[in-house]
Amino acid sequence: MIDQNDHLPEGTDSIVAGASDIALNQEHSTVTQPTKRGQLVDKVKTSSGKLADQAADKTRGLVGQGLERSSEALASVSKMVGDTAAGIDERLGTEYGDYARKAADAIDGAANSLASKTPDELIDDTRDFVKRSPGIALAGAAVVGFVLARLVKTGLDSDKPKA
């Protein structure tokens, strides 16, 4: 408590009872306020980190499933192209049949390469490819976007009732 004999701030005539307690409470609240704020910030950071980790794990799982399905689809295409090579030999000649066999081997190699990669390796390979060839990556993204837009539009058109 402040003594009456202490020097009062300018413009102050007397001491108000309880004023010093309010000042102490204000000092205490300013000390604890940043602590609560810091705890809240830490909690938000921890929660967002957990959510980011969950999203990354989910994405890796989806990419892994996509890799598996893509490699299976490529292997099926490779088998189909290889199976048609004999028919191409008969119809167009052995030179064209050899092209079909080479294409089947290349597709099969791509399928095996894709199947052997982890999602993280595929993401790293994609990043490296985009850094090396940004023009090709941009053109590929445009083509994929165009194809997806056409597929969506075709799907939406087929949902409309025919008159």
Which tens digits make up the pLDDT trace of 9-26? 676 676 666 555 544 445
Residues 6+ apart with CB under 8 A from 104: 78, 79, 81, 82, 85
What's residue 7's pLDDT? 66
Q: How far is CA 91 from CA 85, 86, 132, in A?
A: 10, 9, 42
Percent of the chain clearing pLDDT 90 (strictly above): 6
Cβ atoms 4, 15 nearer than 8 A: yes
Q: What is the mean pLDDT of residues 118-141?
A: 88
Task: Choose between 101 and 4: higher pLDDT.
Answer: 101
The mean pLDDT value for 5-11 works out to 64
pTM of the model: 0.47
